[in-house]
Each structure stands twice: as C-alpha cells, then as structure tokens.
Structure 1
Amino acid sequence: MLSVWLGALAACEQDEQPEVTPASTPAATAPAEEPSAETAVPAESDAPETAYEVLAEKLRVPWVIEFDGDVVYLSEREGNVVKVDGAEMTRQKVNLRKNVHGRGEGGFLGFLLAPDFEQSRTAYAYHTYEENGETLNRIVRLKENGDQWDETGVLLEDIPGAANHDGGRMAFGPDKMLYVTTGDAQRRELAQDLDSLAGKILRMTPDGKVPEDNPFPGSYVYSYGHRNPQGIAWTGDGTMYNTEHGPSGTPGGHDEINVIKPGSNYGWPDIYGGAKKDGMETPIFHTGEKAIAPSGMTIDEQGRLLIATLLGSALYRYDPATGDMSVAFEGEGRLRDVKIKDGKVYVITNNTDGRGIPGENDDRLLVLNKVE
C-alpha cells in the first residue's frame, strides 16, 4: 500500500466541531479491534510533486466545481456563483426567496448545472436557511439571467440542518435521477429515522418528484444511516460510491468510503469504522483513528476514486480493485472539490473557511498538469 502523509492530526480538528456524546445517549459501537493495514491510512507521503495552473483566485470559501464546455462555475458558501471564462472571472449574484444562512458549515453548498444547461440556462442548488429560529436546508432550481441567478422553483424544503453536518453534495446518476446528500444535522438519531430527510442520500426526478422505483415507496430516501456524506460518484459499470466524515471527539477519524446500494443502512450512529451489525453496511475503506475529512469526489478513467480532503489537505486516490489508498496531490492546503474534464484534474482549495491557513490569493481554482 502506498503511503499517505497526515502528520500529527488530532481527531477534534476534523472538518466539524468536536462532539460530546451525552451520558443519556448511547455512543456508537466502536470497532471490535484496531483497523487493519488495509483500512488504516499510512503515516507518510510519497506523493510526486505536481505542477499546476491557477485559473481563479481570491475565491470566498468555494464549494463546487461545474463545467459548461470550457467555462467553469463555482459556488461560494456565502451565496454567490463564480463564473470563470478564460482569464475573466465574474462573481454572479444569486437571488433566492429564502436567505442563505451561512453559520458553521452551512450556506450555499451544492450547485449543479442541468443536463440541458446550454439551452435552458438552469441549475440546481442546495442551501441552508433559517425559518422560525430553526436551521434547515432546501433544494431549488435556478436560472441564469445575465450576470445573476434567479430562483425559479423549489424541489424540496425543510431538510433538517445545523451549524455542522449539512451534507449538500448533488449529482445526476447514470439513471438521470438527481441524488443529494444530507447530514445528520448534529442530531445523530435522525440518520436511522426513515421519516426524516437527515443523514440520508436522497433520490428524486429532475423536477423534484419521488421516483416510483425508490426503495421506500413514496419516500425520497435512497440510503440511510449516514453522518455527513460529502461525495458521491459512479464508476463506468454503475457502481455508486460515497465519502463521509466519521465521528469527531474521541476516538476520532473513521472517515469512510462506501458502496451505496438502494435501501441500505450505513450504520450511523449505531456503528462506525470496521464495526459490524446485522442489517447494516460496513465501509469498504475507513481511515482508522486518523481523520482526513473527505469532501468532493470524482472517478478517473481507471475506475479509481479521486477524493478532495479538508483536514487531510490532499487529493487522495483510492483503487477499489486493490484497496490501495495514496496521495495524488498535496501542498496547497484544504481541498473541497475535484472534477476531471478532458483528462485534466481540477481542484478548489478551501483555506478561507475558518479552519485553514489562507495564503494571500486563497482560495483558488487549480488545474493539475498531470496526476499519475
């Protein structure tokens, strides 16, 4: 297995506030034994140096990378979309019917261009808002009008939210359905509650309806028992993967890579890491007691997962065929998202989110010259 540099990382520095389990709430079941070499993240890095080009800088906590041909769109957590067209960068205002609530990890998160964007100029967004003193998340449709975006419709509202654990990743699957990740909203019991939208991966039609073939009739829930899923992607054979944050506090780490199957239960808060329980799925990889805080993910031509990490401050590569985890790129701080276009790898840094150490020109959109 190739080595990965992590340094001396305290679990409470993960991309979320430390949690303390109340005495009245049973803690998640810990793994029965220490993670094996196949699941533990190694302690050193042999990542090759990789040259890159800066396409945009001075971004404000960017969250998502999207492409329209050679034009790049980025969401910013405070509630903007940044359009990068060659050397020109335009910060576009987003007009929403409910204001973005940007406390903690919340804000304007997921942003996804419609498959017919070239004709429709429409997109989807996931953002945190506050209503009657309650923090919530919603999924809306937007339309690009000149240098601004206007909300044109609501697909789903009242998704439980909090200062942390809001999920927010959006993607169209091979089946042309819209998939959306939600966090447990710091109320861990909601992840096991099939009547709640928190701690789930949701599946819906592009116009926000519940598909007839969803695993739970009449429900958006596609999978459950998730803590804070931040990455979803599919290999060429249709296998769906997700990345999500493990528990902070003590013990910490146990960030996960899962194969997602419809209707399956991924265990939180009952189990995490290598623990097992009847009726619950154990991850195909977890990081042991090291935390890397995985975020956006994509899949390369070889079927390997490329994972942007926050606390890990690196682009990781995971090979499902061998179980090997390695570092593909590092040295630029926290990374929030990664995409591949025309064989090139694009990443955005996330050093201005209050947990990183921003450089003078952070945050930045980078295109890597070569990733082995």
Structure 2
Amino acid sequence: MKMLQSSRAVGYRFGPHLGETVPVLISYCTNASENDEELREYSLQALESFLLRCPRDISSYCDQILSLTLEYLSYDPNFTDTMEEDTDEENFEEEEDDDSANEYTDDEDASWKVRRAAATCLAALIVSRPEMLSKLYVEACPKLIDRFKEREENVKMDVFNAFIELLRQTGNVTKGQIDIDESSPRWLLKQEVAKIVRSINRQLREKSIKTKVGAFAVLKELVVVLPDCLADHIGSLIPGIEKALSDKSSTSNLKTEALIFTRLVLTSHSPSVFHPYIKALSSPVLSAVGERYYKVTAEALRVCGELVCVVCPNIEVHGFDFKPYVHPIYDVIMSRLTNQDQDQEVKECAISCMGLVVSTFGDNLGHQLPACLPVLVDRMGNEITRLTAVKAFAVIAASPLCIDLSCVLEHVISQ
C-alpha cells in the first residue's frame, strides 16, 4: 500500500527505484496466500501506477507484468465454470443463458478485486505501450474476449474498457495503414472479429442494462477501427439492437448507445449488407423517433437519415424495393417536424432528415410533398432553425429527381 501511495505522490521520480520494487510486487502477487486478496490487489494497483507514471523505467518489466495481469484477469478460485465453449456460431445465437452452468462456492468471495485490479493494470499497459500492440493481440486479446463473460459486473466493465483501449490504440497506431502484414495489429484484430461478435451477442442477451451498454460501447469502437468488419455478422446483431430499442426495461442510455452503434454501422458498411434486415431494423428505429427523451429521439432521427441512404443508395439504379418504407419513414419524421414543443437538437435533426427524405423519395411522396415543403420554409423563417433549413433545401435542390419546388420557391428565395 505504501508503494502505491508513493508512486502516486512522486510520479516519474519513483522510476530509479523500480528495480527494487517491481520484483517484490510481482512476488507478492504470485506467492500471497489464497485468502490474501488485498495484497494482490494493491500490488497490481501499484504496477498500474508505475506503468502510467514511469513508462521509461518500467519497460524491462512489461512482459512480466503482461503475464501477471493475464493470469489474474481470470483469477477466481471460488468459482467453477462448467459451460463448454460453443464454436458453432449459428447454434451460439440460439442458445439461452444457463445460470446452472456456473457454480458459486463462496458468498464472501473477494477475488473479484484482484480481477478488477488486473484488468485496470492491463489497460494501463495497453495505453502506455503502443509498441507492444502485436504482442498484446496474440496474448491479451483472446483472453479479454473470453473474460467478457465475467460474473461481477464492475469487473466486466473494466474488461470492456481494457478491450476498448486496445481498439483505440490500434486505431491510433495503424491509421492509414493497409492490412496486408499478418503481424500488424489491424490484421490480427480482423482475425478476432467473429469471436468478438459471438461473445458480445452473449452479453446483449444478459438482463443487465449496464452490461448491454458496455457491449455496445465495444461494438462502436470496433466499427470505428475496422469500418467494414461486421458485414458477415449484421444478421446476428440485429436481435440485440431490436431488443435494446424495444424492450420495456431498456433505459434511455441503452437506447442511445444502441442507436449510435446502428448509425455507425449503417454509415460504414455497404447498403446491400442491410437489405435483408431492413424490416427488422427499421421498425424499432422508427418507434424510437417517438421517444419522449430528446437524446433518444435525436439519435433515432439521425439513424433514419442513414436508413434513407441505405434503402435507396442509388436513385437511378437499385435492386431493392424501398417503396414500402417511404411512407412510414416520412410519417414519423413529419410528426417531429411539425411539433414545435421539442428540443432544439430534435428540431434540427428532423429538418435535416426530411431534406434527405424529400431528395431521395420525392417522386414517391405524391400529395405529401406540397404538405412538407411549406413546413421547411416555415423553419427558414425561424432564426434558430434557419441555417439547418437552408441546408435541407440545398440537399433537395441538388437531388437527381429534380424535385418540383415551384410551390415554395418564391418564399425560399425571399428568405
């Protein structure tokens, strides 16, 4: 404990003393008795502090610390997991959670503190040692994915955070690189995508809201780093998205996270990838537009804008029948566009989304077109929404459909 306090107090100046202290801390972890969880916890916390505050002096010990954190990431002497690994992805999606596979042997178990300290120490190693990324993918990545099943929720969040740090470091270090080198972090990450999705799908079936939010956070970061990596897995992810948006127990935070991920995945993959799932995906998204909490509504409207581009990616040539989705999308956006008593962010998102709808579906709107264009003109007359409305009309005017604006053109020009 004193070593931990000293490292936090004096920072990098503790570096010259690491040769004496680090071996002692590692010895404490490996030789402590089974009941001395606090000693292991404090030792791992001290190592975490050294990694962040003395990155140069601790370099020679990083391999040992990595092995130590991976060992204690799954340290759980009072817990037996009898669940067998399911390697069949299709069967994996259908399986239900089976609590009977997990056996608890100690109600006062404190080993979770050791696992949590190991997870945060590993995250510090990932953040401070970008040169170890390839090694981390070989040794740490599979272990982290396996520990998504962690039974203590607070520890699970730290495991998620450590994995997110691994993804962020990958994005920072490999930005602009081509994935042809089989030893590169991006290439190694691609090999793990199927395992990540399987493990995350298991978490999206959990009852815990916090777990689901953490799972979507992992997926979001994955899509940012590898924009097209989920093309073969969209179908398996749809049920998790649908449940997060439609389940009565879902919180606004969970719905927002699910919608942000949906928007990211829609923008980063080919539209044709989603066409088999548009019906299942669009229904909960359109329902979310009617949510009372403005952040959920605004994000749902942004997703609707991406849906428009997905169902009709090319106005002149397309192989997907988008017409059944035109009026449902239009109706929910129009209901928000005409509602004055709502947050500024929602108003702007509704205006932008309607501009996309008109520019893309204008020739399928019929009598609805003369109804919505004057509403957009009205928004141009409001100083708060004027700029957004002008941009919406710019999108409409640039449409290859040559939208007839004669009924509002004079008012638009005057504005």
Please indicate the TM-score interval, normalised by the length of the shorter structure: under 0.3
> Which structure has the larger Rg over C-alpha atoms?
2
* TM score, norm. by length of structure 2: 0.21
Structure having the larger proportion of residues in helix? 2
More strand by share: 1
